[in-house]
Structure formats: structure tokens, C-alpha cells
Amino acid sequence: MQLLRILLCSLFLLAAPMPKRAEHTNTIGIRFARVERGSFVMGFGGEPLPTETGRNAWRAGGDFDERPAHKVRISRAFYMGAFEVTNAQYEQFDPGHRALRGKLGFSKDDNEAVVFVSWHDAIRFCHWLSKKEDLPYRLPTEAEWEYAARAGTTSHYFTGDTLPAPFLKNATQSRYPPPEPVPTLVGRTPPNPWKLYDMHGNVEEWVNDWYGPYEAGEQVDPAGRASGDFRVTRGGSHSTEAYYLRSGNRMGTLPDDKHGLIGFRVVLGPAPRSKALPAAARPLNQTGVNQSVPDFTHGPDPSMPYFHGPRKYVKIPPGSYGPMFSTHNHDPALIECPNGDLLAIWYSCVTEPGRELALLASRLRYGKEEWDEASPFWDTPDRNDHAPAMWYDGKKTIYHFGGLSAAATYRANLALIMRTSTDSGATWSAAKLIGPEHAERHMPVQSVFRAADGSIVLTSDANPGSTVILSRDNGSTWEDAGGRIAGIHAGVVQLKDGRLMALGRGDDINGFMPKSISTDMGRTWTYSASPFQAIRSRQRAVLMRLREGPLLFISFCGAQTQPGKQDMMITDASGKQRPVSGIYAALSFDEGETWPTRRLISDDGPGREVETTDAGAFTMSASSAEPWGYMAICQSKNGVVHLITSKNHYSFNLAWLKQAPPALRGGFESGVGSHRSGR
């Protein structure tokens, strides 16, 4: 023990002394500016943004996660890198990174900010530098970063409430990568009053904290949350709207994520001694989740026709602008949980390409008639969380798949993530990047199943068309099969002979929806016209195999859904044909060769107005049904089929699908199905 004390004292005496001047340059050329201790107000507590008008007026109060504004005291001085770490500096630690210079047009020169580094890479760099110099290098805390960025100012930027032109480097809702390369040379814009450069919009910068909600009240050296899904990034980057470059704006992503917009700068100084806040409280969809398994034999008699709906599952207070948005809710996924609950997720936003887009969830608890109010499900801060999908393996595991953007927009921009839950969605595993590149073909579709050979088949938009992404080891690794399904948002099933069959939107053949067939698990496809009307934007069809054996396809038809299209003809209970428009179901008993059974998804009652996507309305009757929406579908263990659109939930069984629609009687259509609950 005495020897250990002597060794520790020797190491302490040998450690390099901390610098004391206003500026310091270390052994690898990183220049630091001293940041003195002090206080500031963290978060959004100022005046409305002067330029946010029109459809962006919701931004005038800052983002929801910047509130409540609260006083923070930084109790010790520290040194912050005057510039972001450059390629030349980082590659002294990791020479192999040089191969990433210029990837997708990003960051080629020695003196450009390093990118394509994960949070873990940045931490390892700090550890390497600390060991090299016997000094405490680290990432800044989120509070230290904002304190340093503000540099004593209280405006949105250190320059005031607007950014001058030199800071605006392709400051738009740009594609990723941007159409033209944007240089990220450090130090080419004026420094803030504390001699720190590029704090607004060169590249985003990793900080140390886990992302989580702010708490009210004065805090000293806050260290963020004790755990979470995302690590915070700050400062914004080029090719990002100026709104997201504000001193108080918060961004973040998975700590394993790396792309062309994120780099980092380092701090020299001991880490704060404060204790991290506990993890944020769980949202409603993860609260009070029953872990018992119900008796699934209870439910509607499968031999009797059963229909229930529509009932609303998207329940968001009007005027909501984060973390839930009442403006636009779309693109759902749906599963039955092991405990019998239904769990629906979907994206919520103001505009679909926006960075605000997040995933929400609602739960229909087993035995209940009404869905819970909506609550947050997955929200990477200021990333577009596009294209959710879910799958239940029929045993104990739920899978959540999703797209993770590098920037705004979603095409050619998504990495592919996966999470799992074994307690009916009460808790979730840490997200895994199963498709780490931000690229095309990473936009999941709610069409997931296990193939006969045990593979998990995940459908994804490929833009153009669709693809299937396969896991042959129960989700550990994934590979794109490589082929192209005709049409986006494709529904895919496996036929009894092992072939895959898909029906998608677009790539119409003679005006009809295309049918794609693969004999090699998605590597190649052949195409032909299906018997179904082509569909358009705001519409997504679904395709699945029922437990009883038939294939079920649900889509849209008629002039109500597509101007210029003819209504679809169905044969009613009288044996006569009559026109219908809206959502319809079709059954095939011969593996998709013919679809003899077709009917509207409607309660077949007298005409009445029903709400649909984004506060729209339609008339439901025996002749008309919901005209648009993206659909998702699952079948409960009791045999009931559950269908959701972008707004509503319908339940029915095979007996109802096979029952002929009612005949019209003097212009009135009477309901014929039971309306008792199947939950």
C-alpha cells in the first residue's frame, strides 16, 4: 500500500502543469482560449426570432427542448479549443481516417474540421491526447459549450439575433450530401468575444452529455442526464437552416453515428464534479404496461362476421408544436404486443422534410375500448426520424426499425436503426445501427415478416422502387438483397412455393399497380400488371398473409381517391354489381393469382362524416370509405385483423371479409357486422 501511495504521488508530480495564460497551444497544434468562470441563462428565454413567419412561425418560441430557460453557474475556468479539431490534428491519433477525407465531398484539406467521427471516436481522441500530454482533455459539457458560444451575449447568436452572411454556408434545408461541396476550413469567420471560432454552423460538435429534458432552477456545472438514447451535438453545421445554428439550439444523435456534418472541439480542464440528472421519465406509451399474457381465446366468434370502427388513435392536443405536432401525422406502424395490447407508432411534424419530425406512439391496452393519448416514442433531436416499422416475432420480442437522418430531408440521407423490446414496449434496447451509412435504401416500410428459411424480411423504399433487407441470424446482421421491387412503399409476402410477391405504388403497368415476383429472396425481380388500380401520393397499401391462409390486400380505389379514376365495381349480397370508392380489401385463395373477394372497409351504415388525416373529412357509407392515408396492419392471436390509416383504426375478421357487402335498399345501406369490441 505504501508503495502504491509513492507511485501515485510520483505520477502527480510528473504530470504536466495546467496552462495559465489567456491562450495556449498544445503539442499537436490545437490552440485554446481560456474561458473564465461565470453565470448565464441556458436555453430559450429571450425574444421571438425576428425572421420566423409564415409556416415557420411555430419556431418563434424556440424548440420545446430549450425550455425551461434556467440559470447556470460555471464554477471553474477551463480552456476550450479555439477551433474545431482538424483532419491533420485528428489523424495524428488515427492515421486511417485519411481514407475518409473527401467522402461524399466533405472535408478534404488538412485544415478543415474533421468529420465522419462518432462520439466514441471523439472520446478516444481525448483519452489519447490526455495520455500523450498528462493533461485532462475531454469533450465540453453541453452547459460549457453554450456558455462559451454565448460569450456573455444573450441574443440568438453572438452576432445578435441574426447571423451575418459569412456564417451562412448553404444555410438551407439542404439535401445530404449538399448539391455542391461546402468547405469547412476552420477559422474563416470572425471569432466570438472570447476568441472562439466557428461556434455557429461550420460543423456540428459532439459534447459529452446524454440528451434529455432541461429542469428548472439554478444549476452549478450541470452534467446532463445519467443515461439516454442520444449524445448531444451543438452549433449546427453548414447546409442547415440558420434557426438550428443558434447558441441555445440542441441537436444530437446516436453515439455510434458518424457522417459528414459532425465533428468536435476539445476542452482542457478537469471534468465537473456535479452529479448527472437521472434518466428522463418514461412516456405514457411505456408506462403501466401490463406484463401478464391474456387468454387469447376470448374475442369475437371467428365464424361470425365482425367489424368495429373507425376509432381515432392519433390523439394530440391542437396547437402542439413539440415534442408532438398537431400539424401533420402520418406513416404508421402497428403490432400486437405479447400482452395483447396494440401499439401504434407514426411520425409527427410540421413538414415532412423538417428536422422537427419525430415518432409518436399510442397504446390500445388489452380489454380497453379507447386508445391512450399520443406520447413521444423516438425523437432524435433535430434529426428527421423518417419511416418507422415494427414487427412482433410471435413469441416475446418486438422490433422497431427506423430511418435516422444526418440532416433535414430523408431521401439518400437515412441510416437504418433497430431496437427491440421483450416486455411489450415498456422498455427498449439501445438502438443499433444495422445500416450505418446515410444513404438510399434505408427507408423502412411497415411490411416485415419471417420467411420459411427463418430469415427476417424487412421491406424498405429504395427510391426508385423498394427492396428487401434480410437478416439470417435473428437480427444480429442485415444485408440488402440488392434487387428492385417496382413501386415504393411495397407490401411483400412469401408465397407457399418460396417466391416473394410484392405490390407497390408507382411504376404503373398499363395504369395498374405493378406486381413483382422474386425467386431468389429479393436479388432479382420480374414484373407484371396486377388487377388493382394504381395508387398515388398520400396513399400506401398493405399486403399480408392471414393466419387462416388467404392473402389479404388492402388499398384505395375510385374517383373519390383519385380524380379521373373510375369507381371499383363490387358484387353485393343481391348478386348485383355496384360502384364503390375508398379503402377496400381483397382476398386471394390461390397465392395471388386471382382476388375474387373484394369489399369496402366501412361499417356499411348510412352516410356520415368521419375525420381523416390532418383534420380532413370523408363520407363513410356502404359506397364510400376513407380516401387516403398510409396503412399498417396486423392480425391478433384471436384472429381479429387490425388496420390503421394515418388517423383511424378498424378491426374485422375473415368471416366479415368473406361476407358479401350489403345490397343498397332505396339509397340506404344498413350495417350487417357486429360492433362489439374485439379487444
**C-alpha closest to that of 446 among 383, 363, 390, 396:** 390
**C-alpha closest to that of 536 among 516, 555, 510:** 555
User: Mean pLDDT across the stretch 52-80?
Assistant: 94
Distance of CA 228 to the CA centre of its chain: 16
By percentage, how much of the chain surpasses pLDDT 70? 95
**C-alpha closest to that of 236 among 383, 29, 424:** 383
Question: 333, 350 in Cβ contact below 8 A?
Answer: no
3-state SS track over 266-308 = CEECCCCCCCCECCCCCCHHHCCCCCCCCCCCCCCCCCCCEEE
* Residue given cell 435473428 in the structure block: 474
**pLDDT value at position 6?**
39
Buried b (16+ CB within 10 A) or exposed e, 605-619: beeeebebbbeeebb
Q: Report the SS3 class of residue 120.
A: helix
Question: What Cα–Cα distance (Å) separates residue 548 from each residue in 457, 607, 639?
Answer: 21, 32, 8
118-148 pLDDT, tens digit each:
999 999 999 999 999 999 999 999 999 999 9
Strand partners, 629: 539
What are the chain's domains? 17-46+56-268 (3.90.1580.10), 282-293+316-439 (2.120.10.10), 443-534 (2.40.10), 535-671 (no CATH)
User: What gap in Å lies between CA 573 and CA 289, rounded to an integer?
Assistant: 43
Rg (CA), the chain: 28
Q: Which residue has the higher pLDDT, 513 or 295?
A: 513
86-123 pLDDT, tens digit each:
999 999 999 999 999 999 999 999 999 999 999 999 99
Question: 553, 585 in Cβ contact below 8 A?
Answer: yes
225-235 pLDDT, tens digit each:
999 999 999 99
Cis peptide before 48 (omega within 30 of 0): no
Strand partners, 128: none
For the cut 90, the answer to whether the pLDDT of residue 46 exceeds it is no
Buried b (16+ CB within 10 A) or exposed e, 570-602: bebeeeeebebbbbbbbbbeebbeebebbbbbb
Sorted by sequence, the CB contacts under 8 Å of residue 305 that are 6+ apart come out as: 653, 655, 656, 659, 672, 673, 674
Run of H or E including 80 = strand 78-81
**pLDDT value at position 2?**
45
**pLDDT value at position 508?**
96
For the cut 50, the answer to whether the pLDDT of residue 453 exceeds it is yes
User: What gap in Å lies between CA 241 and CA 257, rounded to an integer?
Assistant: 21
Residue 669's pLDDT band (cuts 50, 70, 90): very low
**pLDDT value at position 45?**
84
Q: Report the SS3 class of residue 417.
A: strand
**Largest CA-CA distance found in the chain, in angstroms, rounded:** 101
What is the DSSP secondary structure assignment for residue 564, as one 8-state letter? Answer: T
Residue 679's pLDDT band (cuts 50, 70, 90): low
Residue 243, CB-side half-sphere exposure with 13 Å CA sphere: 23
User: What gap in Å lies between CA 540 and CA 670, rounded to an integer?
Assistant: 29
Sign of the CA dihedral 310, 311, 316, 318? positive
User: Mean pLDDT across the stretch 253-260?
Assistant: 98
Q: Which residue has the higher pLDDT, 431 or 49?
A: 431
Residue 54's pLDDT band (cuts 50, 70, 90): confident
Q: And the C-alpha cell for 103?
A: 467522402
